[in-house]
Amino acid sequence: MRFRPGKRTSSSVSTRITLLDSATVHQGGPRRLWDELERIRHRLNREGGLPVYGARVRITPDGTLTFSRGGWSVTVA
């Protein structure tokens, strides 16, 4: 939407939300996806990157991948 002086707009913005702000979220269903995203966001802010960047990868003969960095690891079968 473009703002044109002298014209009325159908919506307005009263606050600006940044990456560091908290949001009010209503969750439903079996998993708390917002909680998972918040956990990842906090780690990203704290460490400056996700653990997969710079991780070591181990590939077994059956094709299983194990990524590890520091105390973090994940296996993809």
Contact 68, 58 (CB under 8 A): yes
Q: How far apart are the C-alpha atoms of 18 and 27, rounded to whole Å? A: 21
Question: Any bridge partners for residue 74, and if so which?
Answer: 67
- Inform me whether the pLDDT recorded for 1 exceeds 50: no
Convert the pLDDT of each residue in 31-46 to its tens digit.
888 888 888 888 888 8
Q: How far apart are the C-alpha atoms of 6 and 14, rounded to whole Å? A: 19
Convert the pLDDT of each residue in 18-72 to its tens digit.
666 666 778 888 888 888 888 888 888 887 877 778 889 999 999 999 999 888 8
Q: How many residues does the chain have?
A: 77
Alpha carbon dihedral 44, 18, 24, 2, in 10-degree steps, equals -140
